[in-house]
């Protein structure tokens, strides 16, 4: 066997070490930001995965390719990432590679909560009472009336705690149901939920099972009840204070369940236990983080067992202890997790008899909260539980970790707590007591109206202060392990105070914002019917026909939108435009299907032929606003709504009006029958949409599915704003299937994570309401100066760039220090991160900005960055928006790999764009201004902008200093008598080049217009 380990961190290191001990060659895969970690050094071979962060480890094709290239015939997934992914297990099988775990069918069975329940019932396990499969609100309310403690709402699909809501007796079940459905729909594309009886005051007990595909045995149990918001912190094996009858029942039932499923590999069967009742929770079909405590008390190396089974071995080959063997005392595991990230300046794990530490930590390791925050597992063993708990406390006290903050103080407080020591505790213990155990955490506890982060993650989006967020809509979106987790409003909420900003990393339990319930006067009832006196019959007929086109006449269609947490086309338009300003065109149009459907049916079901469009004012300025109506034939493009679109675009071109287009829909509609048209390739719609860009701004808003022709119109716009549930693709499932390209669900085609990373989407909104707010803000940059603005503290700019020229920094801080307060709006932040683009205001005037981010490739401009830069400059040129360039680049990215990206053409395009740029351009050299890359940042030449100035940290040169020395003084360096002399000469030459290239020196030769106080930057920009 040759084993590829498809994971990272401590579990990857553990698997590699065990494999090598039993003579198995190993391959480690790694993301670029993990290249210097211990698992990579420990493996026999290594393969770099494309990209960085969690996404690299989730790339199935890349992992399979790494196995093929290295000749690995088995893959161990560890835990996390792809460990429970049935598609990955199938891909391994298709490639002839052994997956060290259960079969894809078993993974799917235990990954579906309902299927797992059915298997548990068939295996004779006790399960909580529940609805009969997915249920609507009425059925759940009936079920809840029979559950005195309350119910737990659960999404049928998915995992990770999403779509789960506990609802105690007397709480708002309807609001919780809306919230759970919306979260499940957005998270998994499946809004089905079911309800179980709520089981409180239970202990979390799990059983370790090993199966060989024919039989299965339980070798131990663990108590994992010390949890904070469903995240385990301390585990104990064996589970203390269980009666022999309950323990035997748990182990027998777990083994029976796995054996009946044909399970091969390691499994953990989880239960909730209260008194003598033990109810099935779920099966984790992989090795668990807490497997260590079972190893300690059984003497079984579970990783080695998993490799034996993967190699075709049976239970008899695994040298397992007898079923009646007594455990070797007690083992305790404490999970040491990061609360902040940074470099480990000191890292000394505890040692001693009965002390074990599983970790990948080491001095100088650069930690990151992009991944799971687990840093180390401290495992201890002792003959008695009290001794084991005391030893765990001592081990944590001996653990030296400097440079980052961890949860070790809280772990020690738990281990010394009287209630915990008296034991056993239930799963609610820590959430009840954390304020007592960790006084510093009191601020993180949820007072009334406080909204807390449920996990350690990065803030992607967050509601604005003063916003009113409806029930079931996200207050914030957090990203962890490359998955976005929404923090939803249980009821309608008014946001009073926001304490974190997008881009900030927060720890579990961190305070995000404070809210209060929305008042009745903040809830707008859109349904309003005007009763006119003495209404004429002809007007009454017209009014009735118009009424049938509105949401109030279509409650079923509106309810369907509500069930997925979305708004109707008309609601989005009403929210966008100024009150009372929308004048609709073609509202009475129906689909061209009279040859196949009754007229009354068409009037009722195809209002406006699925396109609501008209002229309105937005922020006081006229605009054309259109929206496909997904409740009408899935927002598809019929012949008459094409005609309406053409009409509205004609008006926009004639009056040079901005266009805002909500483009949700499925593309062309083949079912229209009233016109004798063969292909319809002569429609002018797409050409007309593309022409808008030459005359006025155009913005597409995408929420939900946007395929084929709808996507083509969105892509022809200047800017695309999308919501997290958007899917955008040039072909939908039917087109892909019809082309013989495979069967795919809509959610698999162009999801938001794909389209934000590749630059298709410019801004990702929290939801449709937020998207509308962003559109208003974007239009504002094209509408001229703002009357109200606030200047930033001028001192901030002086400290935005570190004095140490080697110290990295976030260029956004420099931009914020120059722009009017809260005026910066960054575009495409997840695409080509080395280039930062967006809009800002200075003294109320709108400007576009471009900047280099030294946090990516040191600020070098790569191929994608060149495209992003060029695209934005062209947009500013089209829209007549002046541009400010914040330059800090060592130049273009070069080398063989770079040339494979067609950089000659893509880089040189920037000079063509710069040569055609007529809008005012100003350039500020923040630090590095080297070579052709710096010239591209300044329109092609330092003389192209109306000004090119530098901050005191600025330095310029024909190329990077070090490269210039090596190239220009190669003979002198070669002639040095020895290496020491050569190094001394090199350092002298670099220092000389730096002195010569400093901004002050360049200003003396007039290669810069000036070197300025950063606080004066706004004065220069104001001259544009």
Phi, psi for 839 (deg, rounded to 5): -120, 150
pLDDT at 446 over 90: no
The tokens of 162 are what?
Answer: 């999403």
- The 8-class DSSP code of residue 475 comes to E
| Distance of alpha carbon 832 from alpha carbon 758, whole angstroms | 8
pLDDT tens string 924-935: 999 999 999 999
724 to 504, 628, 741, 765: CA distances (angstroms): 19, 18, 26, 7
Phi, psi for 423 (deg, rounded to 5): 40, 175
pLDDT tens string 195-204: 999 998 999 9
| Distance of alpha carbon 299 from alpha carbon 225, whole angstroms | 23
Edge to edge, what strands does the sheet with 2-5 contain? 45-48, 25-30, 2-5, 74-76, 98-99
Q: Which pLDDT score, from 0 to 100, does residue 443 have?
A: 38
Looking up tokens 């004065």, which residue turns up? Answer: 1019
Is there a cis peptide before residue 424, judged by omega within 30 degrees of 0?
yes
Q: What is the SS3 assignment for 601-660?
A: HHHHHCHHHHEEEEEEEECCEEEEEEEECCCCHHHCECHHHHHHHHHHHHHHHHHCCCEE
Cα-Cα-Cα-Cα torsion 858, 862, 867, 869, nearest 10 degrees, comes to 20
Kind plus residue range of the DSSP H or E element containing 548: helix 537-549
Q: Specify whether the CB–CB gap between 786 and 630 falls below 8 A.
A: no
Helix residue ranges, H only, 399-536: 408-415, 418-422, 429-437
- Confidence band, pLDDT 50/70/90 cuts, at residue 989: confident
Q: Specify whether the CB–CB gap between 272 and 223 falls below 8 A.
A: no
Beta strand pairing status for 74-76 and 98-99? Answer: parallel
Q: Which pLDDT score, from 0 to 100, does residue 284 have?
A: 92
Residue 28, helix vs strand vs coil: strand
- Confidence band, pLDDT 50/70/90 cuts, at residue 181: confident
The predicted model gives 822-836 an average pLDDT of: 96
CB atoms within 10 A of CB 537: 7
pLDDT tens string 329-350: 999 999 999 988 889 999 999 9
- What is the CA angle 1003-1004-1008, rounded to 5? 20
712 to 365, 530, 672, 709, 746: CA distances (angstroms): 46, 39, 21, 5, 17
The tokens of 492 are what?
Answer: 């309608």
Maximum distance among all Cα pairs of the chain, rounded to whole angstroms: 108
Q: Which pLDDT score, from 0 to 100, does residue 161 have?
A: 54
Phi, psi for 569 (deg, rounded to 5): -60, -40
| Distance of alpha carbon 668 from alpha carbon 785, whole angstroms | 41
Percent helix, strand and coil across the chain, each to the nearest 5: 40, 25, 40
Handedness of CA 843, 847, 851, 855 (dihedral sign): positive
Residue 62, helix vs strand vs coil: helix
Conformational region of residue 393, where left means phi above 0, alpha means psi within -120 to 50, and beta covers everything else? alpha
The answer to whether the predicted template modeling score (pTM) of the entire model surpasses 0.75 is no
pLDDT at 355 over 70: yes
Which of 115-124, 181-190, 431-440, 461-470 is predicted with the least confidence, judged by mean pLDDT?
A: 181-190
Mean residue pLDDT across the chain: 90
Q: Which pLDDT score, from 0 to 100, does residue 997 have?
A: 72
The β-bridge partners of 585 are 613
pLDDT tens string 49-102: 998 888 899 999 999 999 999 999 999 999 989 999 999 999 999 999 999 999
909 to 831, 886, 905, 944: CA distances (angstroms): 19, 19, 6, 16
| Distance of alpha carbon 59 from alpha carbon 52, whole angstroms | 11
- What is the CA angle 368-369-375, rounded to 5? 75
Kind plus residue range of the DSSP H or E element containing 590: none
> Going by C-beta distance under 8 Å and a sequence separation of 6 or more, which residues neighbour residue 94?
none
- The 8-class DSSP code of residue 366 comes to B
pLDDT tens string 894-906: 889 999 999 999 9
Residue 977, helix vs strand vs coil: coil
> Going by C-beta distance under 8 Å and a sequence separation of 6 or more, which residues neighbour residue 550?
570, 607
- The 8-class DSSP code of residue 945 comes to S
- Confidence band, pLDDT 50/70/90 cuts, at residue 188: low
Q: Which pLDDT score, from 0 to 100, does residue 651 have?
A: 92
The predicted model gives 399-411 an average pLDDT of: 93
- Chain centroid to CA 940: 36
Q: Which pLDDT score, from 0 to 100, does residue 529 have?
A: 29
Q: Give DSSP secondary structure letters for 508-547.
A: TT-EEEEEEEPPGGG----------TT--HHHHHHHHHHH
| Distance of alpha carbon 213 from alpha carbon 260, whole angstroms | 9
Q: Specify whether the CB–CB gap between 409 and 438 falls below 8 A.
A: yes
| Distance of alpha carbon 818 from alpha carbon 811, whole angstroms | 11
| Distance of alpha carbon 86 from alpha carbon 110, whole angstroms | 10
| Distance of alpha carbon 344 from alpha carbon 399, whole angstroms | 13
Q: Which pLDDT score, from 0 to 100, does residue 975 have?
A: 84
The predicted model gives 551-569 an average pLDDT of: 90
Kind plus residue range of the DSSP H or E element containing 864: helix 863-879
Residue 711, helix vs strand vs coil: helix
HSE (CB half, 13 Å, CA atoms) of 648? 29
Which of 186-190, 610-614, 812-816, 852-856 is predicted with the least confidence, judged by mean pLDDT?
A: 186-190
Kind plus residue range of the DSSP H or E element containing 905: helix 903-916
- The interaxial angle of helices 903-916 and 863-879, nearest 10 deg, is 20
Q: Specify whether the CB–CB gap between 898 and 862 falls below 8 A.
A: yes
Phi, psi for 263 (deg, rounded to 5): -75, 135
The tokens of 834 are what?
Answer: 């080395």
44 to 26, 41, 57, 79: CA distances (angstroms): 5, 8, 19, 21
Q: Specify whether the CB–CB gap between 487 and 579 falls below 8 A.
A: no
Q: Which domains does the chain have, with CATH numbers?
A: 2-100 (3.40.50.20), 129-197 (3.30.1490.20), 203-437 (3.30.470.20), 450-517 (2.40.50.100), 539-781 (3.90.226.10), 785-954+998-1022 (3.90.226.10)
Residue 24, helix vs strand vs coil: coil
| Distance of alpha carbon 667 from alpha carbon 708, whole angstroms | 5
Edge to edge, what strands does the sheet with 611-618 contain? 583-585, 611-618, 621-628, 659-662, 698-702, 719-722, 763-764
Handedness of CA 490, 494, 496, 500 (dihedral sign): positive
The predicted model gives 280-298 an average pLDDT of: 95
- The interaxial angle of helices 385-398 and 408-415, nearest 10 deg, is 150
The predicted model gives 867-877 an average pLDDT of: 96
Nearest Cα to Cα of residue 371 among 34, 4, 111: 34
The predicted model gives 311-319 an average pLDDT of: 95
Most confident of 21-30, 223-232, 740-749: 21-30
The predicted model gives 502-509 an average pLDDT of: 79
Counting DSSP H helices and E strands in the chain, the numbers are 37, 43
The predicted model gives 398-415 an average pLDDT of: 94
């Amino acid at each position: 066997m040759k084993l590829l380990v498809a994971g990272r961190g401590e579990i990857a290191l553990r698997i590699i070490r065990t494999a090598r001990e039993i003579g198995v060659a190993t391959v480690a895969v790694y993301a670029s930001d993990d290249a210097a970690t211990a698992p990579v050094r420990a493996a026999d071979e290594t393969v770099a995965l494309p990209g960085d962060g969690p996404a690299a480890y989730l790339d199935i094709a890349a992992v399979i390719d790494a196995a093929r290239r290295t000749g690995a015939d088995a893959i161990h997934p560890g835990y996390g990432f792809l460990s429970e992914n049935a598609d990955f297990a199938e891909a391994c099988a298709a490639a002839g590679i052994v997956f060290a775990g259960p079969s894809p069918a078993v993974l799917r069975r235990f990954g579906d909560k309902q299927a797992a329940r059915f298997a548990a019932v068939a295996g004779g396990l006790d399960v909580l009472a529940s609805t009969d499969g997915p249920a609507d609100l009425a059925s759940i309310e009936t079920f809840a009336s029979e559950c005195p403690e309350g119910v737990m709402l659960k999404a049928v699909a998915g995992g990770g705690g999403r779509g789960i809501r506990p609802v105690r007796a007397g709480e708002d079940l309807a609001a919780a149901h809306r919230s759970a459905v919306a979260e499940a729909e957005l998270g998994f594309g499946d809004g089905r939920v079911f309800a179980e009886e709520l089981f409180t005051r239970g202990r979390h007990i799990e059983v370790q099972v090993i199966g060989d595909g024919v039989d299965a045995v339980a070798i131990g149990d663990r108590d994992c009840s010390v949890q904070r918001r469903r995240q385990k912190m301390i585990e104990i094996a064996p589970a203390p204070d269980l009666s022999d009858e309950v323990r035997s029942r748990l182990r027998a039932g777990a083994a029976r369940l796995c054996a009946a499923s044909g399970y091969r590999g390691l499994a953990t069967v989880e239960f909730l236990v209260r008194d003598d009742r033990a109810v099935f929770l779920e099966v984790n079909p992989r090795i668990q983080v807490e497997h260590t405590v079972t190893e300690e008390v059984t003497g079984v190396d579970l990783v080695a067992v998993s490799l034996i089974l993967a190699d075709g071995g049976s239970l008899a080959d695994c040298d397992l202890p007898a079923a009646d063997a007594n455990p070797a005392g007690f083992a305790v595991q404490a999970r040491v997790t990061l609360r902040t990230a940074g470099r480990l300046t000191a890292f000394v794990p505890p040692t001693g008899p009965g002390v074990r530490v599983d970790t990948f930590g080491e001095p100088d390791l650069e930690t990151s909260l992009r991944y799971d925050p687990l840093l180390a597992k401290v495992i201890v063993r002792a003959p008695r539980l009290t001794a084991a708990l005391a030893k765990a406390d001592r081990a944590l006290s001996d653990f030296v970790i400097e440079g980052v903050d961890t949860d070790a103080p809280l772990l020690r407080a738990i281990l010394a707590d009287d209630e915990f020591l008296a034991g056993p505790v239930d799963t609610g213990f820590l959430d009840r007591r954390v304020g007592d155990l960790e006084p510093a955490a009191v601020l993180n506890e949820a007072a009334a109206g406080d909204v807390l982060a449920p996990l350690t993650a990065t803030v992607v989006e967050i509601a604005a202060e003063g916003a009113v967020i409806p029930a079931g809509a996200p207050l914030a979106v957090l990203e962890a392990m490359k998955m976005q987790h929404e923090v939803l409003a249980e009821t309608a909420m008014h946001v009073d105070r926001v304490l974190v900003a997008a881009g900030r990393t927060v720890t579990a339990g961190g305070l995000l914002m404070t809210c209060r319930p929305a008042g009745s006067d903040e809830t707008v009832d859109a349904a309003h019917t005007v009763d006119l006196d003495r209404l004429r019959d002809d007007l009454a007929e017209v009014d009735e026909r118009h009424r049938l086109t509105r949401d109030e006449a279509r409650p079923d269609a509106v309810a369907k939108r509500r069930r997925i947490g979305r708004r109707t086309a008309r609601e989005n338009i009403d929210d966008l435009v100024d009150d009372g300003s929308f004048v609709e065109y073609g509202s009475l149009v129906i689909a061209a299907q009279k040859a196949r459907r009754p007229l009354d049916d068409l009037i009722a079901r195809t209002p406006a032929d699925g396109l609501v469009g008209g002229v309105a004012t937005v922020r006081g300025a006229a605009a054309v606003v259109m929206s496909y109506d997904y409740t009408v034939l899935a927002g598809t493009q019929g012949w008459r709504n094409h005609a309406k679109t053409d009409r509205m675009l004609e008006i926009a071109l004639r009056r040079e009006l901005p266009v805002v287009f909500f483009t949700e829909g499925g593309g062309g509609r083949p079912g229209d029958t009233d016109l004798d048209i063969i292909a319809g390739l002569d429609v002018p719609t797409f050409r007309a949409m593309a022409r808008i860009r030459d005359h006025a701004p155009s913005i597409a808003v995408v929420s939900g599915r946007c395929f084929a022709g709808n996507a083509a119109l969105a892509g022809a716009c200047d800017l695309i704003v999308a919501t997290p549930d958007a899917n955008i693709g040039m072909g939908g499932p039917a087109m892909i299937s019809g082309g013989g390209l495979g069967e795919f669900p809509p959610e698999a085609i162009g999801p938001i994570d794909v389209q934000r990373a590749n630059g298709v989407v410019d801004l990702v909104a929290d939801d449709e309401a937020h998207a509308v707010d962003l559109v208003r803000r974007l239009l504002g940059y094209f509408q001229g100066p703002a009357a109200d603005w606030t200047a930033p503290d001028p001192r901030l700019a002086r400290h935005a760039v570190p004095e140490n020229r080697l110290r990295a920094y976030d260029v956004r801080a420099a931009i914020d220090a120059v722009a009017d307060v809260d005026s910066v709006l960054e575009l495409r932040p997840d695409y080509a991160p080395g280039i930062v683009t967006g809009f800002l205001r200075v003294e109320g005037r709108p400007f576009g900005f471009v900047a280099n981010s030294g946090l990516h490739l040191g600020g070098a401009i790569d191929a994608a960055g060149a495209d992003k830069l060029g695209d934005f400059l062209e947009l500013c040129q089209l829209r007549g928006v002046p541009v400010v360039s914040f330059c800090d680049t060592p130049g273009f990215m070069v080398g063989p790999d770079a040339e494979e990206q067609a950089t000659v053409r893509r880089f040189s395009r920037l000079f063509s764009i710069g040569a055609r740029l007529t809008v005012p351009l100003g350039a500020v050299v923040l630090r590095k201004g080297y070579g052709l890359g710096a010239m591209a940042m300044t329109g092609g030449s330092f003389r192209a902008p109306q000004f090119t100035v530098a901050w005191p940290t600025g330095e310029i040169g024909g190329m990077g200093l070090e490269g210039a020395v090596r190239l220009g003084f190669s003979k002198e360096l070669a002639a040095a008598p020895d290496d020491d002399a050569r190094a001394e000469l090199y350092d002298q030459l670099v220092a000389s080049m730096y002195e010569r290239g400093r901004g002050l020196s360049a200003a003396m030769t007039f290669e810069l217009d000036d070197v300025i106080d950063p606080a004066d930057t706004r004065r220069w920009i104001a001259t544009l």
